[in-house]
């Protein structure tokens, strides 16, 4: 399973992130702090529904569910830089 899925919209492709708990496509996500500190921008993503209904509950573990499952990390686009010094 890839955490980034490419969906075609006409001729252009749009990257959609996948929730590491329910594996649904999401556009707005939250990131477990421990995973963010360890993996930065590649950290696993959790949808709002899973975050508040399961992950953030007081009695649950707050370790990253994506790391526990051994899922691949979120693929991030390379940042292009423009050299303005010339």
Q: List pLDDT tens digits, range 11-28.
A: 444 556 899 999 999 888
pLDDT beyond 50 at 48: yes
Tell me the CB-side half-sphere exposure of residue 54, using CA atoms within 13 A.
13
- Does the pTM surpass 0.85? The reply is no
pLDDT bin (cut points 50, 70, 90) of residue 75 is confident
Q: Is the Cα torsion angle 21, 16, 52, 41 positive or negative in sign?
A: positive
pLDDT beyond 60 at 8: no
Tell me how far apart the alpha carbons of residues 65 and 32 are, in angstroms, rounded to a whole number.
9
């Amino acid at each position: 399973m890839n955490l980034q899925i490419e969906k075609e919209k006409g001729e252009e492709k749009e990257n959609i992130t996948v929730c590491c708990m329910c594996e649904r496509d999401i556009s707005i996500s939250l990131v477990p702090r421990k995973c963010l500190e360890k993996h930065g921008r590649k950290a696993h993503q959790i949808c709002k529904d899973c975050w508040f209904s399961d992950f953030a509950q007081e009695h649950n573990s707050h370790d990253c569910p994506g790391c526990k499952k051994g899922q691949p990390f979120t693929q991030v686009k390379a940042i292009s830089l423009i050299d303005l010094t010339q």
